[in-house]
Structure 1
Amino acid sequence: MFDLRRWLLRTAIVCFCSIHLAQAQSTDENALQRYTAQGQKALASGRYEEAERAFEKIRELEPGMAEVHANLGAIYFQERKFDKAVPALRQAIKLNPHLVKSATLLAISLSELGRYSEALPGLEKGFHGSSDSEVKRMCGLQLERAYTGTQRHNKAMEVAIELNRLYPEDPEILYHTGRLFGNFAFLTMQTLAQVAPGSVWRHQAAAEAFESQGSYDLAVREYRTVLELGPGRPGIHFRLGRTLLKRSQQAHSTEDANEAAKEFGRELELDPTNANAAYELADMHRDAGEFEEARQLFEQALKYYPDFEDAHLGLAAAFIAQQRMQDALPHLKKAIALNADNEVSWYRLSQAQMALGNTAEQQKAFAEFQRLRTQKSSQQEAARELFSRSEVTKQKLDSTVPQ
C-alpha cells in the first residue's frame, strides 16, 4: 500500500481553508476548528484511526463538503477499509467530479473488493491517462488483477508487458509479470489439452513439463510418444537425450547414458546443424577421455553457433587435455568475451597460461577466478536453478580445483 500521508495533508489543508470560509454559516465553529486541527495533526503523524474519528465528526458537521468525504475516503483506503472507502469516495466525486485522485482511489478500492467490472473504467483511465508515475503503477497492478478476475487474460498480459517496460527494475512488477506469464502459460496448455488431447503438441508440452519438474520417467514416455506420432520431428531426439542423460546422472545408470548418446546421434542425423546435440555428445566423449571425437563435435557445434559459450569452454578443455594450450587460448578468451563472470573460463585460462609459462597472465586469470568464486552467492545459484532450465549441460570446474 502506498503512503497517502502527503496527499492527505494537502487535501486536509484545502479542507481546513474551505471550512474556515464556511464558518459564518456553521452552527459549531469551535467544534469544526477542533476536529480539523485534530485531523491534521493525526494525519501528520500517521495516526489514521484518530484522523478517521476526527473527519467523521467533520462530515457530520459539513456533509456537503467534497474535500471532507475525499479525506475520509482516503483514510479508509489507507486503513484497508475498502468497504467504507467506496461510499465516501463516491460522495466526494458526486459533490466535486474534478477530484481525480479520489476517482483513482475509488477504482482501486472496488478492485480490492473484487468488484472488477465496476473498477475497470477508473483503472483504465488511471493507467493509460495519468502522468503521475505512482498512480500509473498502482492502477496497472490493479488492472492486471481486474482483467484476470474477469477472465480477460490477454488484456492482463498487455498491461504486464507495458508495466515491465515502464518499471523494468521494480521487484513487485517483475513478480506479478512472472506470475501472470506463468498463469497464462498454464491456461494455454490447459486449452491445448482440451482441444487436442491426442496431438503431438499436447504430448510435447507434457514431456517438457515433466522434464522441468524432474519427473524423468514420465517425460521419457511422453517424448517417445511424440516420436511415434512424428518420427522426423526436429529437436525431440535431443530433448529425449537430455532427459535420459539427467536420469542417468540421477540414478547412476550407464544404460540411460548410452541411450542418451544414441538419441543425440539420431538428432544429428536428422539435423546436423543442431549445435546443442553436437555439444552434448561432444561433452560425453570428453568425459570419457575421447578427446579427438569431442574436438570434432565441439567444432561442429561452433560452426552453427559461433557464440556458444559452453562449446568454446568444452573445446578448450579438450585441447588442454591434449596439451594443445595454444589452441585452447582463443576459445577461452572468446568465452570470457561472451561472459566475463564465469569462473570456469578464468580457471581454465589460468591452467593454459601456466602450462605455457606465462606466469603474469596465469596469476591474473587465477586472481579473477578467486574473486568470482568468493563473491558467488549460493542463494543466487539456487535461484538460477529454480527459475531457469538450462538447455544444455553447463561446463563445471574439475573436482581437483582448490577450494
Structure 2
Amino acid sequence: MRLMAGPRLVALGVLFVAASASSAQKPSGAVPSEVQKGVQALEQGRFSEAEEYLSKALAAKPNLPEVRANLGLAYYVDHKYSDAVVAFREALRQQPSLSTAQTFLPLSLAALDECNEAIPGLRREFPNYPDVKLRRVIGLSLERCLSETGQPADASDILQKLVAQYSDDLDVLYEAGQFYGKLSSEMYLRLMKVAPDSARGYQVMGQVAASDGNWQRAVEAFRQAIRKDPTLPGVHLNLAVQLLLHSPDPEAWKEALENLNAEQKLSPADSDVYFEMGEAYRKHGQTQEAMASFREALRLRPGMVEARLGLAKALREQGMKEEAVNVLEPARKTDPDNAAVHFLLAQLYHDLGRASEAEAEVAAFQRLQPSSP
C-alpha cells in the first residue's frame, strides 16, 4: 500500500497557510516599498511576486528577520522547501523568538523528509498551536515523521490526538487508516461511516483491493474516486501505479501518464510522481523524458534511492556510464542493503573496466541474496 509522500502531506495545509499570511509579521518602523509590496503579494497569494519583492528588500537591508520569515513563508507555500529552510534559519538566527519561523522551519524540514531535524520543532508546536487548521497540518507532518523514523508508538499517539480533535476530517481519518493498515481497523470504519460514498472512501477501497492483489477492483475504485473528486491528492498516483504494474493493455501506460500529469498539478512537490513518470518513460523508450523526470524527483528528494536507480539505468542506456556511477554511488551509502544498487553498480564498473570494484559489488550483491534452504 503506497503511503502519501511527505511534501504532499504538508501541502494539505497550503490553503490554511495562505490565510495565515494575512497576519504575516511586518517589520516595525519605516518599511521599504518592496516590503510593503511583498507582504501584500503574500497576503493575496501571489507567491512568486512576494519572493521577488522581499528578496529585493533583504538584498538592500539584510537584517530584517520579520521580512525574511515572510520570504520563507512565500517559499514554503510555493513548494520551495529548501529555500524556505534557509530563510527561516536565518530569520531565527537574527531573532530566535520569531513565531512564524519557529513554526514553519520544522514544517519545511518535514516536507524535505529531514524528519530527525523536524521532529523536535513539530513536537513543540503541535499541542497548543492556536490555529486549529494549521495545527492539523503540524500533527499530520509529525505523525509521518515519527512513522518514518521508526517511532510507531509515538506516531500512534499523535494519530489518536488528531482523530480526537478532528474526528470527522477525511484526511486525518485517511492517514489513520493508512497507518493501521486494513479496512477492518476502527479508523477505516469511521471514515466509511462519516462519508461512505466519498472520494476518500473509494480511495481507501482501492488501496485495500490493491493490497489484496485485486488490481482490477483497485483500478475501478480509484477511477470512481476521481469521478467523485478529481482534485483529491494521491488518487491519480494510486491509479497510475496500478496501471503501470498490472495492466496487460499496451496502451495503459499512456493513461497512467495522463494521471501522473494530473497528480503533478495537484502535488508539484511529490517526488513519487516524478519517479513513476520516469519509470513509465524509461520502460517505453523515451529516455530523455525519463532522465528529466528522475532528475526532478531527486531535486525534490535527493535521498530517493529508487530515483537514483532509475536515472542510472537511463544514463547507462545512453552510454553515459561515468555519470551513471556518480548518480548511483550515493545510493550505496543511503541504502547499503539494497541489492539492486550493488547489482547495477557492478554492471557499471564492469562496463568501465573497473574490475576490482565490480567484483566487490558482485560480492555485496551475493551476500544480500536469501540463503537456499
**TM-score, normalization by structure 1:** 0.45
**TM-score, normalization by structure 2:** 0.49
Higher-Rg member (1/2): 1
Greater length-normalized contact order (CA 8 Å, ≥ 6 residues apart): 2
